[in-house]
Structure 1
Amino acid sequence: MLIAGKIIKSYGILGWLKIISFTEKKEKIFEYSPLYIYINKKYKVIEIEKWKKNKKKILIKILNISNRTESEKFVKKNIFIKNSSLPNLLNDEYYWKDIIKCKIFNKKNIYLGKVYKIIDTQTYDILVIKTNKKKIKKKEILIPFILKKYIKNIDLYKKKIIIKNYSNFI
């Protein structure tokens, strides 16, 4: 299961909920149905009766939830989707979930650190590498996720990324 969003708070008196979507295009969260929440130590399908965009907010109405009191039990719950509901990607396309925790090496196979976060700048993504090497003064290295220019090779099976031009980032 993957976290695709989060229920933030109740909205109004009729049981609507405000959510944050972690999908690239916010409304696409509804394309990955069914959606689940983890409640009472198990994943439970939540059936979305309606959803709407209100300014920059996404609001949902869960089937059979008709008032604010009933909707409160969903507040602060993550919204999950099954990993298998993600579409297959083309060559040189990657899901962030697969890149996070990859080990980063330079061309000489020297370990630099692990990807622990990715920043979306709208132009391109930036890998944030946490390093604990004493030779590297920075605790974080930022690497643009631009294939062939900065990223030489990605092996998701080994969770290993080889970068070019390491000196540009320290």
Structure 2
Amino acid sequence: MSHMPELKSVALPEDAVEVGRIADAWGIKGWFKVIAYSADPEALFTAKQWFLLPAEKGAKNFAGTVLLPIQQVRPHSDTIVATSPSVPDRNAAEALRGARIFVAREHFPKTDDGEYYWVDLMGLRVVNREGVDLGVVKDLLATGPQTTLVMGYEEGGKERERMIPFVDAYIDHVDLPGKTITADWQPDY
């Protein structure tokens, strides 16, 4: 029988972003392993509180959204381990297994000029310098040192995909408020 820690039920913030999930208990003192969805999971390390949603499949030990105060997060070999004052022992940590971790966007570290979080690029419309619509960002691929935008667009009634490397050579401007990316790219590349 798992002992669910006493966690406060809260509303998931509008700007919450799913950043990972709790994999399992780690050790006996209430630490737990975390699987990060991003290769650069800075928000996991900087946010002082995580919002948890129950696992999509498997045992659901809680319902709705709960707030998990975070005490410490650190890399450990190829994974991340964390501890919370609300999770006193291994049983409590096991009860969180599979929980989805969300961090409020406002708790993300500030980005430098020209740096963007993937989550901010999703759904943006990409147009070229001539104003031709190239599609909407539906995915990003990390290929070695560079990121590639994957856009969905329609052609002849069919859903198609187009890829553009997200590098200065091709990307002129990202307008987050305007939800557009301007690229130096032709539809027939």
TM-score (norm 1): 0.79
Structure 2 match to 1:19: 34
Per the TM alignment, residue 89 of structure 1 is displaced from its structure 2 partner at its CA by: 2.8
Indicate whether 1:116 and 2:138 are aligned.
yes
Structure 1 match to 2:167: 146
Between the two proteins, the alignment pairs up a number of residues equal to 165
Provide the C-alpha distance between the structure 2 equivalents of 1:26 and 1:113, rounded to a whole number of angstroms.
28
Provide the C-alpha distance between the structure 2 equivalents of 1:2 and 1:138, rounded to a whole number of angstroms.
27
Per the TM alignment, residue 23 of structure 1 is displaced from its structure 2 partner at its CA by: 4.7
Structure 2 match to 1:3: 18
In structure 2, runs of 5+ residues without a counterpart are 1-15, 54-61
Task: Report Cα offsets for 1:86-115 as digits up to 9, x if no partner.
Answer: 233333222211111001122222222110
Aligned residue for 1:166, secondary structure, equals coil
Indicate whether 1:67 and 2:90 are aligned.
yes
Matched to 2:120, the amino acid is D
Q: Is the 8 A contact 2:26 2:90 kept in 1?
A: no
TM-score (norm 2): 0.72
Structure 1 match to 2:116: 94
Per the TM alignment, residue 15 of structure 1 is displaced from its structure 2 partner at its CA by: 4.0
Aligned residue for 2:109, secondary structure, equals coil
Change (3 A) 1:45 1:17: closer
Provide the C-alpha distance between the structure 2 equivalents of 1:150 and 1:54, rounded to a whole number of angstroms.
37
Provide the C-alpha distance between the structure 1 equivalents of 2:64 and 2:100, rounded to a whole number of angstroms.
13
Structure 2 match to 1:160: 180
Q: Is the 8 A contact 1:102 1:159 kept in 2?
A: yes
Single out whichever of 86-95 and 101-110 deviates more from structure 2.
86-95
Matched to 1:155, the amino acid is D
Larger RCO of the pair (alpha carbons < 8 Å, separation 6+):
2
Q: Is the 8 A contact 2:151 2:163 kept in 1?
A: yes
Aligned residue for 1:152, secondary structure, equals strand
Provide the C-alpha distance between the structure 2 equivalents of 1:113 and 1:41, rounded to a whole number of angstroms.
35
| Root-mean-square deviation (Å) | 2.7
Indicate whether 1:40 and 2:60 are aligned.
no
